[in-house]
Structure 1
Amino acid sequence: MVGDIIKVGQIIHFVTRMDTILIDQDGNALFQSVNHFIPAVLDHPKNEYTHINDVLYNNPPHHYYHYINIFGLEYMAVGIWKGSSFLGSIVVGPFISSMSIIDLIKDIISRNNLPISERKQLEQFYQSLPVLGEIEYKSIGELLVNMCGHDYIPAQRISSSIQTSSLSQTRLKVSIEENKDIIESRYKTQRKLMDAIARGDKTEANNIIHSMSGVLEFSNRIPESPIRSSKNMAFVMNTLLRMAAERGGVHPVYLHNISERFAILIERTINIPNLQKLIVLMTNEYCDLVNTFATGHYSPIVKKTVDYILLNLGNSLTLSQIAEKIYVNPSYLSRKFKEETGMNITDFINQKRIEEAKLYLQRGNIVITDIAFLVGFNDLNYFSKVFKKLTSITPTQYAKKWPPFL
C-alpha cells in the first residue's frame, strides 16, 4: 500500500513539477520529492503536517485541503484512506497565489518578527515558488482526489518504431562548421557579458543578451531534445552570471540563493521562448545584486565590514562588535572605513537601515515603532531623528506620500 502511494506521489511530482510529500498518520514524512529547501526561519513541518492530517481525517475522503500557513506558503493536500482507516496525507507545495512578492515578504517579516537581514534571501526563496491561480490549484486538488481515491494501476507503454536519420555526410560537415562558428562567437560574447555583470552595467548587459538571441536557437539543431539542450545552456549561463557577480564583489550568501532559485526556474521552463525571457531576468537580477551588495572595490577589511553589516542589519551593530567579529583593531577599522566609504560606520549603518525602513513605510500598514525595531533601531525618537536627517522629512510624512496598501 505504501509503495503504491509513493508511486502516486512520484507521478504527481513529475506532472506538477511541485514538491510532493507523503506523511503518515503521525505526521512523519515517509517520502519527499522536493525542489525547494525552506529557509530555517520558515520551517515548522511537524506541526503543519499534524494540522493537515487532523483536517483531512475529520472530513470525507473525497475532500482536498487548501492550506495556507502563517508565512503565506500554500499547499494542496488529500487524505489517504484504506476503507475507513486514515493512513496519512499527500501534500503538494509550497506555492503562492500572490504575484506581489515584495509586499508579501514585508508582511511576513513584520507579522512574524523575522530578522530584517533575511529579507533578500526570503525574497529569492518566494520568487522561486510556483505562482498558481485559483483554477490551477483547484485542479491540483481534484487531481489528488482522483489519483488517491482508488488503488494504483501500473501502466504499460506502447512505443513507436525508431525513425532513421536522413542527414547526409555533406550536410553533417556543413552543420559542424556552422556550429563551430556559433560556439566561438558565443564564448566571445559571454566574456563581454561577464565583464558587464561584474560592473553592474545593466544597460550593456541587456544589449549583449539581446545580441545573443541565437544562442538558444542553436540548440534546436539537436533533434533528440532541443529543450533539454537549451536548459543545459541556460544552466551554464546561470553559472557564468554567478561567477561574474562574485568577481564584482557580491557576497556568496546572496549568490547562493539567487543561483539556486534560477536553477529551479530553468528546470521548470517548458519552452525556449520562456527560457530566453528567463535569461534576461537573470541578467537584470545579477546586475542588481552587484549594484546593491558588491564590495569588490573595497579593501579586504572594509569588504568584510560591509558584508557583515548587510547580513546583520536588524541586529545590534557597533564599531567594537564589528571589529571583534572580523578580528581587527576598532580604531584602525574606523579610520580605514572612513577613508574608503567617505562616512563613518555608524552613518553607513543608519543609511542602510533607513533604506530598509522606506520599503516598509511605503506599505502604509505597519506601525512606525515596529518598523524602527525591524530595521535595527531600539529607540523610536532616534529613528525619527536619523530618518529626517537623511530624507529631510519625518517617517510619518514619508508614509503619507504613498497610497494605502490594499
Structure 2
Amino acid sequence: MKLGDVEKICQMIHSVIKLDIRFFDLDRKTHVQFVNHLFPVVLDTPESEFVPVMEILQQQPSYHSYHHVNNFGLEYIAVGVWENHSFQGCLLIGPFVSGFSILDLIKDAIADNKLPISERKHLEQFYQSLPVFSTTECESIGAMIINLCEHGLIEAKQTVSTIPKPTVNRLFSKTGIEENTRIIEHRYQHQNKLMNAISKGDKVAVNYLTHSNSFILTFSDRIPGSPIRSAKNISFTSNTLFRLAAERSGVHPVYLHNISERFAILIERTTTLPKLEKLTILMANEYCDLVNTFSTGQFSLIVKKAVDYIQLHLEEDLTLKHIAEQIHVNPSHLSRKFKVETQMTVTNFIQHKRVEEAKLYLRRGSISITDIAFMLGFNDLNYFSRVFKKWTSLTPSQYVKTELW
C-alpha cells in the first residue's frame, strides 16, 4: 500500500473515531500520526515499546489485529500494513481503556510503576480523557481497519443537496432583533453568575445554574445548519471561562492545564447535543471540585506558594526548612504566616494531605499498607500508623476493615 493511501486511511480513522493513530515502518520511524492526547511525563514511553507488537504482527496473517496493553493499563489496537504479502509496518491506534475503574487503574499504575503520588490528579484527568471500549468494539475497530488496508483506498465523491433560501419578513425581523437582544443579555448575566459560583467552589449554585439554563441548546444557532459545531464552539468557550473562574480562586496552573486539555478532547469527541450539554454540566462541577481541593486564593502569596509546593511534591521529604528554601522565604516567617492563615502548622498540613491520599489507596484494598506509606513519603511504617490514627482515630488496618466491611 502506498504511503499516501496509508496517510488518508489514518486521517479518516482519526476523524471518525477520534482515536490517536500512528504508522510505524520497519525501521521504527513514524511516517504518519494524528494525535490528540498529550501524555503526562511520567507515562511517556519510547517507541521501542511497540517493537514486539510489530514482530507479533509480522508472524500473523494479514487479517489479524493485535490488542496491546502496556504497564500503565493503556490499550492499543495494532494492524499490519502489507504490500504484495510483504510487511511494511503497522498502524497503532490508541491509547484507550476497556471499562476499568479509572481510580483503580491509576492506583495500580502508581503502585506498580512506582510513580510519584503527587501525579495522581494529573493521571486521573488524563485517564478520564481516554475513550472506553468494550471487547466487541475493539474487535470491530480492528476489523474495520484491516478491511480498509486489505482492499485499498477508493477516492469517494460527495454530492450535496441545495437548501432553498427563506423569504424575509421585515416586521418579524425587527421583533426578532429586540427579542434576541434580551436573550443575549440574559445569557451573559447567567454566564457571569456561573463563573462567580465556580470561583467560590459553590457546587449548589453551580448545579442550579447549569440545570436552569442550557448553554448548549440556547447557543446552538451560531453556525446555521451546523448545531453540533456551534455547540462544540460554545463548550470550548465555556471550558476557557470555567478555567479562568477557577484561576481566580488561586488554583495552580498545573491543575488547570490538565483539566482544560482533557475537556477540550472530550468536547471534540462528543457527537450529540444532549451529550454536550451533560459534558458542560460535568465540566462546571469538576472545575468547582478543583477549586474546593486546590484553591489557594484565600492565602497570601507566601502561603499560597508553600501550599502549592506541598501539594505538588507530596511524596517527597518535606520539611519547613526545605519548603522555605524552595520558595525563598525565611522559615520562621513562613511558619508564623502558615499557622495564622491555614490554622495548621506546616507539619500538620502535610500530614493531613498525606492521610487524605492514603485513604484513597487503603479503600482500594489491593496495595499493602507498607507500600502506601512509602509512596506518601513515610519512611517508617510505625510513624505512618501513628500519624494516620492522629487524624482518623483509626490505625490503617482498622480503617481498611471499616471501609471494606
TM-score (norm 2): 0.96
Task: Say yes or no: does 1:329 pair with 2:296.
Answer: no
- SS of alignment partner, residue 109 of structure 1: helix
- Distance (Å, rounded) in 2 between the aligned partners of 1:65 and 1:382: 47
Q: Which residue of 1 aligns with 2:193?
A: 192
Amino acid at match of 1:38: F
How many positions carry a matched residue from both structures?
404
**Which residue of structure 2 lines up, in the alignment, with residue 281 of structure 1?**
282
| Contact 1:27/1:53 (8 A) holds in 2 | no
Deviation at 1:344, TM superposition (A): 1.0
Q: What is the CA–CA distance in structure 2 between the aligned matches of 1:51 and 1:180, rounded to whole Å? A: 62
SS at match of 2:156: coil
Change (3 A) 1:134 1:170: farther
TM-fit CA distance, 1:214: 5.8
TM-score normalized with structure 1 length: 0.96
The secondary structure found in structure 1 opposite 2:39 is coil
Match of 1:65 in 2: 66
Q: CA deviation at 1:173?
A: 3.3
Output one character per residue of 1:191-227: Cα deviation in whole Å (capped at 9) or x when no partner.
1111111110000111111122265234247532111
Q: Does residue 51 of the first structure (1) align with residue 52 of the second (2)?
A: yes
Q: CA distance change for structure 1 residues 221 and 197 in 2, over 3 Å: closer, same or farther?
A: closer
Q: What is the CA–CA distance in structure 2 between the aligned matches of 1:83 and 1:177, rounded to whole Å?
A: 67
> Which residue of structure 2 lines up, in the alignment, with residue 131 of structure 1?
132
* Paired AA for residue 11 in structure 2: Q
Q: Which residue of the partner structure matches residue 121 of structure 1?
A: 122
1: distance between equivalents of 2:163 and 2:343?
69
Is 1:13 aligned to residue 49 of structure 2? no
* 1:311 aligned onto 2:298: no
Letter in 2 for 1:128: S
Q: Give the stretch that moved more between structures: 196-205 or 43-52.
A: 43-52
Instruction: Say yes or no: does 1:388 pair with 2:386.
Output: no
RMSD: 1.5
Partner Cα distance (1:183, 1:309) in 2: 43
Structure 1 distance, partners of 2:153, 2:215, is 45
Q: More deviation in 47-56 or 62-71?
A: 47-56
Q: CA separation in 1, counterparts of 2:341 and 2:47?
A: 48
Equivalent AA in structure 1 for residue 372 of structure 2: I
Question: Structure 1, unaligned stretches of length 5 or more?
Answer: none
Give the CA deviation at 1:272. 1.1
Q: Deviations over 1:145-204 (max 9, x none)?
A: 101113222222233334323443444333333322211101111111111111100001
Give the drift of 1:247: 0.4
1:315–1:376: 8 Å Cα contact kept in structure 2? yes
Q: Which amino acid aligns with 1:85?
A: S
Q: 1:342 is matched with which residue?
A: 343
1:155 — aligned with what?
A: 156
Identical pairs, percent = 58
> Residue type of the partner of 2:127?
Y
For 2:122 and 2:293, locate their aligned partners in 1 and report how far apart those are by CA, in whole Å: 14
Equivalent residue number for residue 403 of structure 1: 404
Q: Could you say which residue in structure 2 is the equivalent of 1:112?
A: 113
Q: Structure 2: which 5+ residue stretches go unaligned?
A: none
Partner of 2:367: 366
**Cα distance, 1:332 vs. partner?**
0.9
